[in-house]
Chains A and B, each alone.
Chain A
Amino acid sequence: MSHWYILSLVGKDRPGIVAHVTQALYDGGCNLGEASMIRMGGSFTIMLMVGHDGTVKSLQNLLSTVADSMGLQIHIDKMAGDLHHHVEPDVQITVYGADRPGIVAHVTGALAEAGLNIVNLESDVGGTAAKPIYIMHIDGVAGEGIAALESALQIVIKEGIEAKLTPIEAMVG
């Protein structure tokens, strides 16, 4: 019987990581679910749902050769599959500003208190090493309404962070 596992992977970025890892999984009889794969800094990272017949150990064994040859660190946990139950975000928040410690904690803290459930968050550090800027993009569900989130953001904006909230209304046709 197949179980779902969540595979976390990080390694120095180079061409072929996705191809080699997924080929090893395919050869081992695995089926893939949803994934987030992205270069962060100089590393390549993967979070990947893997359907596999065996145990954490047997899944690790399937990947040991590719992990060794490509210098990848891999971690595997069991997870509930729960596919086909997407949560639809109804609000999008973009934040940017001169980079400094605390932007994420500050902004997401205020938003969480106002009822935000984050569905997707992506962030980048841009600009130059001397003058870095932080850019963050959040899709989420406004559990206590959009107005509550707007008020929470106003406080953050007063403290010098650029933040914009846009309701998402999916057009279903």
Chain B
Amino acid sequence: MLEILTYPDERLKQLSAEVTLFDAELQQFLADLEETMRAGPGGVGIAAPQVGRFQRIALVDVSSKPKIEQHGFLALINPEIVEYNGFVKGREGCMSVPDFTGNVMRAETITLEYRDAQGEKQTIKTGGFEARAIQHEMDHLDGLLFLDRLVSRRNDLFRRKVYQSKE
């Protein structure tokens, strides 16, 4: 079990570096990270910076949620969203921000390129809850928390904010 950094720990705000070595040490870290994710209450994702490792690694597994589009357990290394479509508001919380949830706009569907645990290039298309989880975890790799993307609770019935996509 790895220790989870919690905000206001400034380390959560830093940029993570690309993974270049897909070695045994990485496999061990992925196993430890997965164990930590599954121990969290309702945790469906985790990013390496949340445990103090500043590399572009995120895990997502939304298979505990019934009846949604999903790809099971995903180890996302050096992930990149190459296409965003639609915007949808949803509620998010974070193991690094205890006792607070808030509304965040995310792309509704995404096309994602990443390396798997063995370093093989993968591409998936996904949407909804899984796409939200992936976008939330990928934000950690850029030093962003969902707190950086909160939208007002009031008036969101009729107003829509523009999603800030990565350059």
Partner-B contacts on A (CB < 8 A): 38, 84-86, 88-89, 94, 96, 120, 122, 124, 135, 137, 139, 168-173
Among B44, B95, B154, which residue has its beta carbon within 8 angstroms of that of A137? B154
A172 touches B43 (CB 8 A): yes
What distance in Å separates the Cβ of B106 from its nearest Cβ neighbour in chain A?
9
| B99 at the binding interface (Cβ < 8 Å) | yes
What's the least CB distance linking B119 to chain A, in Å? Answer: 24
Which of these, A84, A124, A169, A173, contacts B43 with CB under 8 Å?
A173
State whether A86 touches B100 (Cβ < 8 A). Answer: yes
B92 interface residue (CB < 8 Å to A):
yes
Assess whether A169 is in contact with B40, with CB atoms less than 8 Å apart. no
A86-B101, A137-B157 are contacts. A173–B129 as well, Cβ < 8 Å?
no
* Complex CA–CA separation, A38 to B156 (angstroms): 16
Interface residues of B in 143-166 (CB under 8 A from A): 153-157
- Among A88, A120, A172, which residue has the most Cβ atoms of chain B within 10 A? A172
Of B14-22, B28-36, B130-138, the one contacting chain A is B130-138
A38 to B133, CA, bound (A): 32
Q: Besides A135-B157, A171-B44, 11 other CB < 8 A contacts?
A: A86-B99, A86-B100, A122-B154, A139-B153, A171-B90, A171-B93, A171-B132, A172-B41, A172-B95, A173-B133, A173-B137
| B42 at interface, CB cutoff 8 A | yes
Complex contact A173–B157 (CB within 8 A): no
| B137 close to A169 (CB less than 8 A) | no
Q: Provided the pairs A122-B154, A137-B154 are in contact, do residues A173 and B99 lie with their beta carbons within 8 angstroms?
A: no
CB neighbours of A169 from chain B (8 A): 65, 90-91, 129
Q: Indicate if B46 sits at the interface (CB-CB under 8 A).
A: yes
- CA of A159 to CA of B148 in the docked complex: distance in angstroms? 41
With A85-B99, A86-B101 as known contacts, state yes or no: A170 contacts B92, CB within 8 Å: yes
The 5 closest A-B pairs by CB, nearest first: A173-B45, A172-B93, A170-B91, A173-B136, A172-B42
Nearest chain A CB to B15 CB, angstrom units: 19
Q: How far is the CA of A170 from the CA of B157 in the complex (A)?
A: 18
| A-B residue pairs in contact (CB < 8 Å), sample of 24 | A86-B101, A122-B154, A124-B155, A137-B154, A169-B91, A169-B129, A170-B42, A170-B92, A170-B93, A171-B45, A171-B91, A171-B92, A171-B129, A171-B132, A171-B133, A172-B42, A172-B43, A172-B101, A173-B44, A173-B46, A173-B47, A173-B60, A173-B133, A173-B137
Contacts of B42 in A (CB 8 A): 170, 172
Query: Are the C-beta atoms of A172 and B153 separated by less than 8 Å?
Result: no
A170 to B155, CA, bound (A): 19
Closest B residue to A122 using CB positions = B154
Query: Which of chain A's residues have a CB closer than 8 A to the CB of B132?
Result: 171
